Amino acid sequence: MRLTSEEQAMLAGDHGRAARKAMEILVALGEIFEAECMLPVTSVQIAGVSYDNLGEAGLEFLQEMADGGGQARVLATLNPAGMDVENWQALGIPADFAANQQRVLEAFAHMGVQVTCTCTPYLSGNTPGFGEHIAWAESSAVCYANSVLGARTNREGGPSALAAALTGRTPAYGYHLDQNRMPAVTIDVRAGVQGTFAFGALGRAIGEQLEAQNLRPVPYIRGVQRASLEELKSLCASLATFGGAALFHMPGITPEAELYTSPDERLVLTQAEIDAAVAALNDASDAEVDFVSLGCPHLSIDEIARLAELLRGQEVAKEFWITTSRPIKYQADRLGYTQVIEASGAKFAVDTCCVVAPIKGRFNALATDSAKACYYAYAKNKFKTRFLPFDEVVQQAIKR
Ligand code: F3S
């Protein structure tokens, strides 16, 4: 790889042990993918934050990097942690887990990483512009950044994202290059889709078609007339989960779609496939729902406003987690939504989510509007799942 003198200096250890280790990781990655050079990045988002996933070995790596003088050179934020940093007791998080999670966050903070823990950094100030090279790790956010914002990122692992933060670089390969952003398959959607639930089901249906091809081509999705920010974040989470997609184009909606014509290779998706996706995510028809969660990906302020409207004057009878980022929660506080929501008995689970928190064995069946949350609720925690539209999820929680 061609390295600048500054990159060579980092590799030689002139900027400290952590910067050297970080550059070694990036050079190794670049060589595997035959990158010609490094690219400067403007933004980083680091996954692998929950102590539930990291464990002691992951924490030791972070502490080593912090002790080795690691300092973020660009704006870097975190994926959700395993707990609400301020309110973990109310969510039933064990004290020993909380202590370990705190050590993880301290190691990141020591390195100058902003400990904003969210999978929607683009709603909380880490919002790259069109064409910017970035290094993000959370799969739904990667898909959103590439597709909706028109920024450029590969799906980084935890160590490579941290390495990008500490060096301000990423190897030039994959979705950073024009030739890899071209669509390879047209998906004709012949069904009406509306709401986060329907877009999540659409993502699963498309994702499965992509997986069936045994390739991970960039899809060019036609037939969707309108899509809100919330619907697109749901689609991105689902497409990434079920199809490994990190980029799609949607004419009239995503910014790069106009650069391309629709590929000849074509798949048609009808209501029947979307209905099948919904059915596949509902395996709790015979089980009593005892856990309700909204906010995968983390809720926007508009979604919280809708939730406050639905919960005003109501009482919830089940454990109900509302997952969002700290900056969005502050907005909800100021706008009076928090008070209305908490008065119902629902709980904010800020900085975390129902997938990365250590809750295995605590619940039997989850109700949610998120296709991705359904997938991991079963895969990670063995919960049954009820996949429903947003308003119906809220109804599942309300006391009758
Ligand atoms: Fe975000 Fe957790 Fe879902 S990280 S995308 S809320 S699984």
Task: Give the whole-angstrom CA distance, residue 400 versus residue 381.
Answer: 28
Other CB atoms within a 10 A radius of the CB of residue 220 amount to 24
Look at the pTM and tell me if it is higher than 0.95. yes
The reply to whether ligand 1 has any atom less than 6 angstroms from the CB of 323 is yes
Q: Among 313, 281, 301, which Cα is nearest to 393's?
A: 281
* Ranges of H-type helices in 213-292: 229-243, 271-280
Beta bridge partners of residue 322, listed in sequence order? 294, 348
Q: What is the pLDDT of residues 311-322, one digit of tens each?
A: 999 999 999 999
Show which of 178, 209, 241 is a domain's final residue.
178
Residue nearest atom 3 in ligand 1 by C-alpha distance = 296
The reply to whether ligand 1 has any atom less than 6 angstroms from the CB of 297 is yes
Beta bridge partners of residue 349, listed in sequence order? 323
* Low-confidence residues in the chain, pLDDT < 50: none
Q: Are residues 165 and 241 in the same domain?
A: no
Q: Are residues 70 and 11 in the same domain?
A: yes
Q: What's 157's domain CATH number? A: 3.30.499.10
Pick the atom of ligand 1 nearest to 370's CA. 3
Q: Are residues 153 and 225 in the same domain?
A: no
Q: Are residues 163 and 259 in the same domain?
A: no
Q: What is the pLDDT of residues 120-132, one digit of tens each?
A: 999 999 999 999 9
Pick the atom of ligand 1 nearest to 138's CA. 4
* Structural domain boundaries, residue 329: 286-397
Q: Are residues 113 and 239 in the same domain?
A: no
Q: Are residues 190 and 159 in the same domain?
A: no
Q: Are residues 238 and 305 in the same domain?
A: no
What is the pLDDT at residue 217?
Answer: 87
Task: Give the distance (Å) from ligand 1 centre to CA of residue 326.
Answer: 14
Q: Are residues 219 and 188 in the same domain?
A: yes
The reply to whether ligand 1 has any atom less than 6 angstroms from the CB of 80 is yes
Q: Are residues 202 and 272 in the same domain?
A: yes
The reply to whether ligand 1 has any atom less than 6 angstroms from the CB of 137 is no
What is the pLDDT at residue 216?
Answer: 72
What is the pLDDT at residue 215?
Answer: 65
What is the pLDDT at residue 287?
Answer: 82
What is the pLDDT at residue 101?
Answer: 98
What is the pLDDT at residue 58?
Answer: 96
What is the pLDDT at residue 157?
Answer: 95
Phi–psi pair at 108, nearest 5 degrees? -65, -45
Show which of 127, 156, 178 is a domain's final residue.
178
Q: What's 229's domain CATH number? A: 3.40.1060.10
Give the count of domains, the chain: 3
The reply to whether ligand 1 has any atom less than 6 angstroms from the CB of 119 is yes
Show which of 280, 296, 326 is a domain's final residue.
280
